[in-house]
Amino acid sequence: MKRFDGLNQSMVEQYAPKAGRRELLPELSDKAQVALMCRMLFREGWNEHIAGHITVRLENGNILTNPWELAWDELTASDIVTLDPDGNIIDGEWNVTPAIGLHLQLHALRPEVHVVIHNHAHWSGIWANMQRVPPVYDQTGAHCGMALPLYNEYRGTFEDEATSLSAAEALGESKWALLANHGSLVVGKDLRQAHLRAITLEWRSKRAYEVELAGGGVPLTAEEVEKVAITDAYGFPFCWEAMARRELRADPSIVE
């Protein structure tokens, strides 16, 4: 996966760049893509100090993850740690969070899930603390559909294997979840899909909070959400690349 190839063939053909137009992204290593994802989501509100972890399972079964000691907005490719499927460090100069078990269990329970993201995100975290599911008020908040489970058996942090396993099992086949009084959880088949879900969850939560603060509104129905949801499995075309370019402009050293 040296180049980010999130678009399917039909999209590549439909939106192929014209002759002479620059590519959407330069060639990126696997670790550079994970570091970029951390930077991108930090900007979206997934930024609770050094909390939070992203895991990306590679084709060979190994797992890339961000280190415990560093905040998401300072990571570079060389900081990303490689784990074996059991969570043992294969390479890397840093430690990994004791809560990595939740990710390992999700990867084991759901073979189609290659990306797992957890953090105490700003806006979705408010709804998690209220133990309420935010309504969908606009098209952007509807990108990933209506259903959003709330896992409400909080018993502390996820270092405990039984707690993390019950959370992983409770997620079932869902794409995301709110963890009551804790934070947010998003899974996906690749970085593009997981990115869309993470930013949609945060946008949906922010808009719902703002609307209720302003006195309330009329949320979209499930049928309306279904009409405007992005059904393509590859996520929002070109959004991942655009947000990645923003981070690369701000700090080209991310890929180092």
Which pLDDT tens digit goes with each residue over 118-130? 999 999 999 999 9
Which residues fall within 8 angstroms of residue 143, CB to CB, at 6 or more apart?
196, 200, 229, 230, 236
Domain contains 2: no
Of the two residues 212 and 155, the one the predictor is more confident about is 212
CA distance 227 to 145: 9
The pLDDT of residue 21 is 61
CA within 13 Å, CB half, 124: 32
Q: Look at residues 151, 176, 174, 173 and name the one whose alpha carbon lies nearest to residue 164.
A: 151
**Whole-prediction pTM value?**
0.88
Span 94-103, pLDDT tens digits = 999 988 988 9
Share of the chain above pLDDT 90, in %: 71
CA–chain centroid gap for 7, Å, is 18
Tokens of 192: 């593009």
Number of domains forming the structure of the chain: 1
Domain contains 19: no
Domain contains 215: yes
Of the two residues 3 and 140, the one the predictor is more confident about is 140
Domain contains 3: no
CA distance 233 to 254: 27
Domain contains 16: no
Domain contains 197: yes
CA distance 126 to 64: 29
212: containing domain: 25-248
**CATH, residue 190:** 3.40.225.10
